[in-house]
Structure 1
Amino acid sequence: MAVKQILQFGDNILKRSSRRVEKVDEELLGLVEDLKDSLYNGTGIGLAAPQIGVLKKVIFIDLRDKTEPILLINPKIIKKIGKEDSVEGCLSYPGYEGIVVRPKKVIVAGKSLKWEDVEYTAEGLLAKAFCHEIDHLSGILYTDKAKKIYRIQEEE
């Protein structure tokens, strides 16, 4: 559909909680296309609907060559296993990264675009991406959880 502007750190919409999606309709299908177009326009690996100004519980993750893209509606983490420090960045806070404690492994459940129940068991980068994007749905940014935030140094 369209590349949407990604809301930036400080925008109040990013701090608000999203609403559950009740059904797949034309509006939702348009939102999904906007999420995909907006993510692929940049270098990120995940995007949540609030980042493009839509307060609905929808996330899109694509680790590019590592896994198939994942679109998840009304996602929730149902189990967290272990903990580790994670380096994270965010399309809504460009130029910065932070150190965040995240689970080593998660089990995530939600609905597919076909409105089927789906569940993912994820480790490593995918687990971190799920946690990061699902946090966005509750108005939580990685900066709220970071032990340390720093500016990314530009390569000369």
Structure 2
Amino acid sequence: MTFSLRQIGDPILTQVAEPVTEFRDPGLQHLIEIMLSTLKTSSGVGLAAPQVGSSLQVILVASRPTLRYPEAPQMEPLVMINPRPLAASPEQVLGWEGCLSVPDQRGLVARSREVEVEYYTPQGSRQRVAWQDFPARIFQHEYDHLIGQVFLQRHPQQLLSEAEYQAQILGQPATAA
């Protein structure tokens, strides 16, 4: 398994990821470590295993304020294995999204405002969580990777380059990251 960040056009990003069946597999822990490291070095707020070349159902949700998302709530990275949406609010909200696998693009995407999710911890314990707003958006974005989709397939109402997004939406110089 290689762990380079996969970009749009890579076939792994269009595949449905396989469920994790062995929680004690050392490869799973190694994958999680690689994902956490990649998330930190890339300044991302979420990551899915297919983005690092593994077709397993593992995602990270790690909301925090950044230059791109200054109003995001702070949370520790949460590792979710075999996540399954249980419920999603019918209320859709628009929000700007980018993706580590879709460089230099930002899209205005409609997502459910609230989600309830069941998942497993790395130790195999089943959990439930309910999120709203930005963490709910992160989950939905990362879950899409597990079903072979990227945010561009959600038909964004507007698409901007990273420089346009920074200048027009954030009011920042285009060189800010």
TM bucket normalised to smaller: over 0.9
Pick from 127, 132, 136 the counterpart of residue 136 of structure 2: 127
Which position in structure 1 is the counterpart of 2:4? 5
Match of 2:42, SS state, is coil
Which position in structure 2 is the counterpart of 1:73? 81
Alpha-carbon shift at residue 147 of structure 1 (Å): 2.7
TM-score by length of 1: 0.93
Alpha-carbon shift at residue 43 of structure 1 (Å): 1.3
What runs of 5+ residues in structure 1 fail to find an aligned partner?
none
Residue pair 2:3, 2:54 contacting (<8 A) in 1 also: no
Alpha-carbon shift at residue 34 of structure 1 (Å): 0.7
For residues 47-66 of structure 1, what are the structure 2 equivalents within 5 Å? 47-64=47-64, 66=74
Aligned-pair identity (%): 30
Q: Which amino acid aligns with 2:120?
A: K
Per-residue CA distance 1:6-41 (angstroms, 9 max, x = gap): 111111111111000012111111110010011111
Instruction: Give every structure 1 segment of 4 or more consecutive aligned residues whose post-TM-superposition deviation is greater than 4 Å.
Output: none
Match of 1:95, SS state, is strand
Match of 2:174, SS state, is coil
Q: Aligned partners of 2:63, 2:134: CA distance in 1, in Å?
A: 8
Alignment coverage as a number of residue pairs: 154
Which position in structure 1 is the counterpart of 2:158? 148
Q: Which amino acid aligns with 1:20?
A: P
What runs of 5+ residues in structure 2 fail to find an aligned partner?
66-73, 164-172
Greater Cα offset, 5-14 or 123-132:
5-14
Which position in structure 1 is the counterpart of 2:148? 139
Q: Which amino acid aligns with 1:115?
A: G
Q: Aligned partners of 1:26, 1:4: CA distance in 2, in Å?
A: 15
Residue pair 1:75, 1:111 contacting (<8 A) in 2 also: yes
TM-score by length of 2: 0.83
Per-residue CA distance 1:39-83 (angstroms, 9 max, x = gap): 111111010000011000000121236112100000011100121
Say whether 1:40 aligns with 2:40: yes
Per-residue CA distance 1:73-131 (angstroms, 9 max, x = gap): 00011100121111100001121100111000100111011211111110111000000
Cα RMSD for the two superposed structures: 1.5
Which position in structure 1 is the counterpart of 2:14? 15
Pick from 113, 117, 123 the counterpart of residue 114 of structure 1: 123
